[in-house]
Amino acid sequence: ALAGVGEKVSELTERAMRGELDFNQSLFARVDCLKGIEVDALASLKARLPVNPGFAKTMRILQANGWRTVIASGGFTYFANYLKETFELSEAFSNTLGINGSTLNGTVEGDIVNGEMKRSILLEQQRIHAIKEQQTVAIGDGANDLLMMEAAQLGVAYKAKPKVKAQADASIQYCGFEGLLYCLKQ
């Protein structure tokens, strides 16, 4: 919306989340729309970043019980790192916006955090931290989360697109993020 291309970016995002567009192509097209935006403008977005109801409480409960809490996002480091710091998450992996001076240059730098990468992140975190397979959980809402959710012992759809809900082990649709805690109860 800051660049006057909010509707176009939203449409591309929505189509990718439904699995109608290749994630990488959609990401490149969306980021290209941001070319020329001042990096400082991202700060105003960060201050208004919506957080799902129940997310903070759920993270505190999981962390208090020894869980590693990791974001693997198709979004951007600027926002994922903010969430990591704000909620004291274990790790955050996301895409890096290209910057030229003080403006976005319309590119993505480094590896793309797409569906395959999200799956790899989950498996790598499991390996590095000696997490038993039966203790892995992945939560997602879009098509680019499906491989990660499939690799986890429990794949949870959170207010997700129909394709994701259909393939998930559990679905949270009518409550906040704390619904995850009920999915974990034995």
For the full predicted model, state whether its pTM sits above 0.85.
Answer: yes
- Across residues 9-38, what is the average pLDDT? 80
Which segments within 122-178 are labelled E, that is strand?
A: 137-140, 154-158, 170-172
**pLDDT for residue 9 is more than 90:** no
Q: Is 132 helix (H, G, I), strand (E, B) or coil?
A: coil
Strand order in the sheet with 91-100: 70-76, 91-100, 103-109
**pLDDT for residue 186 is more than 60:** no
Distance of CA 116 to the CA centre of its chain: 13
pLDDT score of 1: 60
pLDDT score of 37: 87
pLDDT score of 4: 65
Q: Give residues with Cβ within 8 angstroms of 103, minimum separation 6.
A: 35, 36, 37, 38, 39
Picking from 10-19, 29-38, 120-129, 137-146, which range would have the lowest pLDDT averaged per residue? 10-19
List the one residue out of 138, 143, 22 whose CA is nearest residue 72: 138
pLDDT score of 48: 82
Q: What is the pLDDT of residues 25-80, one digit of tens each?
A: 888 888 888 899 888 888 888 878 889 999 999 999 999 999 999 999 999 999 99
Instruction: Tell me the percentage of the chain whose pLDDT exceeds 70.
Output: 94
pLDDT score of 185: 76
**Tokens 């903070």 identify what position?**
56
pLDDT score of 20: 77
Q: What is the dihedral of CA 26, 126, 91, 162, to 10 degrees?
A: 40
